[in-house]
Amino acid sequence: MKQLQQVLFRVPCGLFVVSAIRDGHPNDMINNTVFQITDSPLQLLLGMDKRHLTTEYIEAGGAFAVHFLPPDGLSLVKRFGFKPGRETAKFDGLAWRPGPSTN
Ligand SMILES: Cc1cc2nc3c(=O)[nH]c(=O)nc-3n(C[C@H](O)[C@H](O)[C@H](O)COP(=O)(O)O)c2cc1C
């Protein structure tokens, strides 16, 4: 099992912040399972745990944003990747604004 974990740890992946808004409230999470599936039509695949608040927001609103993590984005990983939005005010002290949607 440990060997398998070591091999799987070497599978390359990206690291992203996934955002969604419901009733004017944002929620973000860290995600390393964002893939482009097709170019035309443009389709993305995201691995999302159904229990996450971000998943609930996306299902409710039908829209999400994917942000590339900057190289110095460790503080964002700590803020968005370990604390559930149901229990934590993830945006305390953080300025944000909604962007345009293609929906
Ligand atoms: C490096 C890293 C990668 C992660 N990748 C995913 C992922 O691909 N899919 C997922 O559902 N959760 C992933 N998570 C876990 C969520 O980011 C985390 O549980 C988050 O707190 C969920 O927030 P929410 O409940 O407020 O939506 C990852 C966490 C970290 C630290």
Cβ neighbours around 83 below 10 Å, total = 13
Does the structural domain 9-81 have CATH classification 2.30.110.10?
yes
Q: Is the CB of 85 under 6 A from ligand 1?
A: yes
Q: Is the CB of 48 under 6 A from ligand 1?
A: yes
Position in ligand 1 atom list of the atom nearest CA 52: 25
Q: Which residues of the chain have pLDDT under 50?
A: none
| Residue 82 DSSP symbol | S
Q: Where are the beta strands (DSSP E) in 2-100?
A: 16-22, 25-31, 34-38, 43-46, 65-68
Position in ligand 1 atom list of the atom nearest CA 82: 21
Asked if 52 and 33 count as a contact pair (C-beta separation under 8 A), the reply is no
The pLDDT assigned to 95 comes to 93
List the chain domain ranges: 9-81
Q: Is the CB of 18 under 6 A from ligand 1?
A: no
